[in-house]
A = this chain, B = another copy of it.
Amino acid sequence: MAETKTDQRADAALYTFDRSVELFERATKVIPCGIYGHHSPAIRTPGATPYYFQRGQGSRIWDVDGNEYVDWICAYGPMLVGYNHPKVEAAAAAQREKGDCLSGPSPLMVELAERLVQMTPFADWFVFAKNGSDMTTWAVQVARAHTGRNKILMAQGAYHGKDPWCTPGHAGLVPGDREDMLSFRYNDLAGIRQLADRHRGKIAAVILTPYHFTNWQDSEMPVEAFWQGLRKLCDDEGIVLILDDVRTCFRLHMGGSGEYFGVKPDLSAYCKAIANGYALSACGGRQELKTAASKVFLTGSYWFSAVPMAAAMATLDEMEACDGIARIYELGTTLCNALTEAAASHGLQLACTGHPSMPMVKFAGDDDMYRTQVWCAEVTRRGAYVHPHHNWFVSTAHTQEDIKRTLDAAEPAFAVVKERFGS
């Protein structure tokens, strides 16, 4: 790791992204948007961020211009125990030597399902896929098959994947994609109850994330008794409660994020952190839903590949061995507190919202995001990769030294914001 005193750097020493920009220009010729989806420069600050990376190790990433960063994005969630983690890679390599994508599953598929069932209080079974969307969409279908009802309730602004019923995009949709979708404001149990009354006997499921995280906004934790009230409402009305744990799984609780909030869903979708970056998603469910789950077709070319399942087993091992949940909670809390204090010392008010293991970090009341954008750009070019519009992620590979380095980058960045915006 380069020992650079980022806070004392001259402007000339700040990171630049020439090679990233060059590659992006080439990309736009042969890839629509150049880079799309949640990696898209469109949701970042143009020119203030690297676009392409060449290496990851532990908590650090290196972009194509050779700049090194403490990475607080963690591949947007998948990296949980550190890039290139020796135990995860050893488990993956041992399995790869035998076989990955074969003409049928490996025994690991059974072992991983057994393990997840054993560690997940609500779940009696699991299935596996590749994308989070594979599992949220399938869960919705399972709920429909189970209840014989069509309507689905989701929170306004919630992200549940790329599929037509829920994509945040607007192009290419037809009315049929969403004619059975109803929406409510997260945390508004009374609003959900009104919908349940109005559409009694027609609602198959409510799908929602453990807490509410949307780009460009503060994250919102569930209000007191929200989950318990929702659970009761679903029980009373015969509605399937689907937890979208795709982004949150194994960062809040090893038994599923419902456990963190004291609620047991009927179905829960997992992805991202489950295999430390190896492509795997999963959905767990209660016994009552197993017949319906057996009826809804699901498949994919690489879904039974053994290496990601070996990586998942090793990732779960490592999380258990290092008490990962407590560790990233503590690291995230320390980071958020330190940043908030540093901001305050400049007369600035930083708001870290959501769970500390994946905090949304922005300036309080910064609705147009300008101050947050400028600050994140200044932090990034000083060696900590952070995002102005998306929540950050903490891993067990992060260290106090990483936090210190991030603060070293944040300090002069706060000064820039103070100077440019006054508050």
Contact = CB atoms under 8 A, between A and B. Distances in A.
Interface in A81-116: 83-84, 89, 96-107, 109-110, 113-114
Contacts of A385: 103
A391 interface: no
Contacts of A167: 297
How many monomers of this protein are in the complex? 2
A191 interface: no
A114 B83 contact: no
Contacts of A64: 107
A37 B302 contact: no
A83 B99 contact: yes
A32 B139 CA distance: 13
Given A27-B110, A279-B279, A298-B37, A176 B176 contact: yes
A39 interface: yes
Contacts of A372: none
Band of interface residues on A: 35 or more
A107 to B, nearest CB: 6
A299 B54 contact: no
Interface string A270-312: 0110000111010001000011111111111111110010000
Interface string A56-96: 10000101100000010111111100011000010000001
A320 interface: no
A167 to B, nearest CB: 5
A83 B102 contact: yes
Given A174-B150, A176-B179, A75 B53 contact: no
A175 interface: yes
A56 B55 CA distance: 30
A205 to B, nearest CB: 11
Interface of A: 23, 26-27, 29-33, 35-39, 50-56, 61, 63-64, 71, 73-79, 83-84, 89, 96-107, 109-110, 113-114, 117, 124-127, 130-134, 137-138, 140-145, 150, 162-164, 167-180, 246, 271-272, 277-279, 281, 285, 290-305, 308, 385
24 contacts: A30-B110, A31-B125, A31-B126, A32-B290, A32-B294, A36-B299, A39-B299, A52-B107, A53-B106, A54-B99, A54-B106, A75-B301, A84-B96, A131-B131, A131-B301, A133-B300, A141-B172, A144-B173, A162-B300, A169-B296, A174-B180, A175-B176, A176-B180, A279-B308
